[in-house]
Amino acid sequence: MNCGNVSNWVHWSYTVWTGRSTVTVFSMVDMDVVLSSESRRNLALVPYPLPGRADRGENLVTHRPRRPRTALRSPPVTPLLRERLDGGIEVLRINRPDKRNALDTATLALLNGALAELSADPDLRVLVISTTSTTALCAGADVSEPLDAAGGVARMEAFAELYRLVDEVPVPTIAVCVGNCVGAGAEIVVGCDLRVGGDNLKLAWAGARLGVPVGPARLTPLVGLARAKDLVYTGRPVGLAEADSFGLFQRTAPAAEAEAAALEVAAAITRQSPVGVRVLKQMFRDLEGTAGRVAYENERLLEFQRTGAGLPQG
């Protein structure tokens, strides 16, 4: 056996956990080998004299390996939660409370994918769009998301798709309107068939301030032309009392009870004929004529974003 330069050999100690106790193991190692190993980056080498050997002047080294991380890591946060309840009621809950449920590209993809899947589900009876936090249903776009110009256009395309998909769900949709419902959040609110308002509501269209031409297509039929112009042009937030006076809400409740109130409405719908309700939904869509207006508004949204005049990037 070639032991190399014996002067480079040193005493080495390390601690091993046996499952019941720690055992310190002493051995001799060639430091030329240790120091040439890539694993040295993970070693903490601290010179120290072993007991009873300090008088020999040996270059004694101990290896104290990194302690294994025993703490459990938190599971990744899922930004969209889905729950299927009895009777064919589906609940989509936006889950980004630290961002007031502002939508980034990844969350938009999940939301759009869920809406597309649900629209093709023959067992779906009612869709409830809600939140895991009463501080916000949705605060609009997450403008802190780092995107280049192409990414900004892709995100706006996803928003346009969101508005179209909400409008085209073939069963009644109910929005749980609590806390911040701003920008895209306001569009989700007015895009649903029915709305339950929480007492902490802050409803606002921020498009004019951000350079995003959105709002008229869905809001105007609900509140009238003059009110829609006021809300969209100024972007001023309105609370529950004022919004309810416009006729926007079919139910109101304390914020903590708003989802439960929405589920009561959903349960009442499921007691009706499934086929009949789907036909009625299509009849209402035809009567409202929102499809053409939504398509036109989406075209303008994308046009502005492509010319650099739309939603800012982070």
Give the three-class secondary structure for 125.
Answer: coil
How long is the chain? 314
Residue 283 pLDDT? 96
Q: What is the CATH number of domain 80-306?
A: 3.90.226.10
Residue 44 pLDDT? 44
Residue 68 pLDDT? 55
Give the residue extent of every domain in the chain.
Answer: 6-63, 80-306
Residue 4 pLDDT? 47
Residue 205 pLDDT? 96
79, exposed or middle or buried, with CB in 10 Å at 0-12, 13-18, 19+? buried
Residue 306 pLDDT? 75
Torsion angle (degrees, nearest 10) of CA 109, 112, 118, 120: -100
Neighbour order of strands in the sheet with 173-177:
80-85, 89-94, 126-131, 173-177, 194-198, 251-253
Both tokens assigned to 197:
């308002």
Residue 299 pLDDT? 78
Residue 313 pLDDT? 53
- pLDDT tens-digit profile, the chain (314 residues): 444 444 444 444 445 454 544 444 444 444 454 444 444 444 444 444 445 444 455 454 454 555 555 555 666 779 999 999 999 999 999 999 999 999 999 999 999 999 999 999 999 999 999 999 999 999 999 989 998 888 888 998 999 999 999 999 999 999 999 999 999 999 999 999 999 999 999 999 998 888 888 888 899 999 999 999 999 999 999 999 999 999 999 999 999 999 999 999 999 999 999 999 999 999 999 998 877 877 778 777 777 777 765 555 54
Residue 257 pLDDT? 99
| Residue among 202, 185, 186, 204 at smallest CA distance from 239 | 202
| Residue among 168, 98, 173, 171 at smallest CA distance from 136 | 98
